[in-house]
Structure 1
Amino acid sequence: MVSQWLEDENFVDVWCVHGERNRSTNATESWHLKLNSTVPKNANLYQLLVALKEDAALQIVVATQIKNRAPHVKRCAEETVINNQWIKHVTDQLVDQKISVGHCLEKLKINY
């Protein structure tokens, strides 16, 4: 499937979200909101650097948890869980070459 559209696969891991749970910018927007609430308006450089340093320390902890495969508990709405299962089912059919790209897109379109 991928080889139909891409010739250079050097950066696939950077941009490809296949199989990833998060397919939106919600995580980025959440981080930005947290940073904006941590750093005061009209902050000076020192205040910004302190906030970024604290955030970097937190990200090291998160990265370590991911590396050690610590379970990540995140509550989701039941509808979101069902939609994620449907998307996984349909994309698995596509990857297993049981359906065409067009059929996959139609199935995903109908679900929404």
Structure 2
Amino acid sequence: MLQDYSLHGSVLSETRHFLLAAEAADWPSAEPDRNELVEPAGLQTCRVFNAQGEVLTQTDASGNSQLSTHNLAGQLHSTDLILNGSTHARTLVSAIRYNAFNQ
């Protein structure tokens, strides 16, 4: 379920509900009946964007935060991870280089 949007239309927060059973669901027509097939609480993900609409921070349902930096061209430069309960950022990728075709 998408809950919040930015001025650019980017999703700021969303809650995902997983199926209670492992097999594929036979979804009922009535929407209230569908809620019986999924877990009630759901898992929320929140995002923070900059003025260009690039993701700066994404926090998952476990409280882990992924921090992204971008270069002047708006391309991803690095991504760090701060695990829930920690103050230390772990670098996942850094110094990303792009060619003339933005690859």
TM-score, normalised to structure 1, is 0.25
Larger Cα-atom Rg = 1
